[in-house]
Chains A and B, each alone.
Chain A
Amino acid sequence: MSYIKKSPWLVHYDGSSCNGCDIEVLACLTPLYDVERFGIVNTGNPKHADIFLVTGGVNNQNLPVVRQIYEQIPDPKVVIAVGACACTGGVFHDCYNMIGGMDKAIPVDVYVPGCAARPEAIIDGVVKGLAVLEEKQKALAVPVRDSRALRESELEPGVAINQSQEAGK
């Protein structure tokens, strides 16, 4: 039984977004959509978070910020890119200062398209992210119990996951 799916806390960061997606993210907290009924809490603190919800593309100014927030979130964690800009750079992709979508800076797990992304789409993205989160936790559970598996997985990626599946059988 994994509790991480029942209590996902998220930290929201606005990269270089026009604020359109941010307002839709906040709309998810309103009485109409009320994401708290799924146990989702918008914490402002990366150290408490499980999900990194990021809007806007990445540029040279916010690159270190995005990476730092990502590194501060304890494992297991999931990154959800919300909106066209976070997915690909969107309308800003040709700008001289833009690097591109959020996946140019950190590994993104779920892409939520839209300009701006609708609250329904954002909630759907978070729910998809929960499945990824659970998978990551299962993969993480192996090396903690068995340090030998950790060393092997460093040599050969995927060994640890295979072992956990065998142990499950």
Chain B
Amino acid sequence: MSEMVINIISGIAYLILAPVMGGLLAGIDRKISARMQRRVGPPVLQPFYDVFKLLEKQTVAVNETQSFYIFGFLLFVILSGLFFFAGGDMLLVIFTLTLASVCFIVAAFSSNSPYSQIGAERELVQTMSYEPMLLLVAMGFYLHCGTFSIEGILQSSRMNFIYMPGIFIGLSYILLIKFRKSPFDLSASHEAHQELIQGILTEYSGRTLAMIEVAHWYENVFLLGFVYLFFAWSAPWSPVLGLLMCALAYFGDIVVDNCCSRVKWEHMLASTWLVTLVAGFANIVFLMYVK
């Protein structure tokens, strides 16, 4: 009974604290990126100022369905995070997340703007690239811990990372896509004005754009939760290691973001599937037959 209460509390904590954490992470990201380019950079609270400003601005919608789908995106991202932090089923988490990204893509396809359409097509290719690896993560945890339940995974007797290093490499690779970082920021790059304006984000303004930003904050926090799962087990000090590795993974993504230029979609698809096959699938085979 007490476990259930803890699950509910951590779910509610996610609901309230995730946007705060996500916004701070985005602010720290911008600050570190600026320092890497020898600039001063914006204040750490800048992402919050941006979102509050967007809420004050006029909202221009190209059609009625657009905002509805974007609301669906926000709702399903929050839901999948809730399932995750309440210790729910990992498959349910991944499928709800997919539903959220489908909402996001459909919203972009609902307008006739060519930039929005190109952005949506690229987002589809991105989803195609990372989805197999995300499913392998769930399979790996099932083979190792014997359960899809996140509560059960956290009670594992040894560090999960020792048995699933390949799957962790694959997950780190697709996190670059999910965090919308270079070299895989194809669908909505902030640096690609001349090429596709803002891609999938072109047609949104005001409140709708603010909703997308907040949804990304929620998404980033709970994707780091996946990193946490690899380094958390029943030992009392393991949460410290887990959080440390989350920070390290995020910092690594910022470094890669500042080092790389955008790649073509063919390269993204091929390299992601190669990593999935070599690191992820080999690890699955190891878990099935060797362990």
Contact = CB atoms under 8 A, between A and B. Distances in A.
B49 interface: yes
B34 interface: yes
Interface string B56-71: 1111100000000000
Interface residues of B, number: 31
B53 A47 contact: no
Contacts of A42: 193
B38 interface: yes
Interface in B159-203: 190, 193-194, 197-198, 201-203
B2 interface: no
A162 interface: no
Nearest to A72: B60
Interface in A1-27: 2-4, 6-7, 9
Contact of B57 (A38, A41, A50, A72): A50
A4 B56 contact: yes
B203 to A, nearest CB: 7
Contacts of B60: 47, 72, 74
Contacts of B59: 74
Nearest to B46: A39
Interface stretch (B12-20, B98-106, B204-212): B204-212
Nearest to A49: B205
B198 A44 contact: yes
B40 interface: yes
Interface residues of A, number: 26
Residue among B30, B52, B57, B194 facing the most chain A CB atoms (10 A cut-off):
B57
A69 to B, nearest CB: 12
B193 A43 contact: yes
A44 B34 CA distance: 20
The 7 closest A-B pairs by CB, nearest first: A44-B193, A74-B58, A3-B52, A6-B49, A3-B53, A34-B39, A75-B58
Interface of B: 30, 34, 37-43, 46, 49-50, 52-53, 56-60, 190, 193-194, 197-198, 201-206, 209
30 contacts: A2-B56, A3-B53, A4-B57, A6-B46, A6-B53, A7-B46, A7-B49, A31-B37, A34-B34, A34-B39, A34-B40, A36-B34, A36-B40, A37-B34, A37-B42, A38-B42, A39-B46, A39-B49, A43-B198, A45-B201, A47-B60, A47-B203, A47-B205, A72-B60, A74-B57, A74-B59, A74-B60, A75-B57, A76-B58, A140-B58
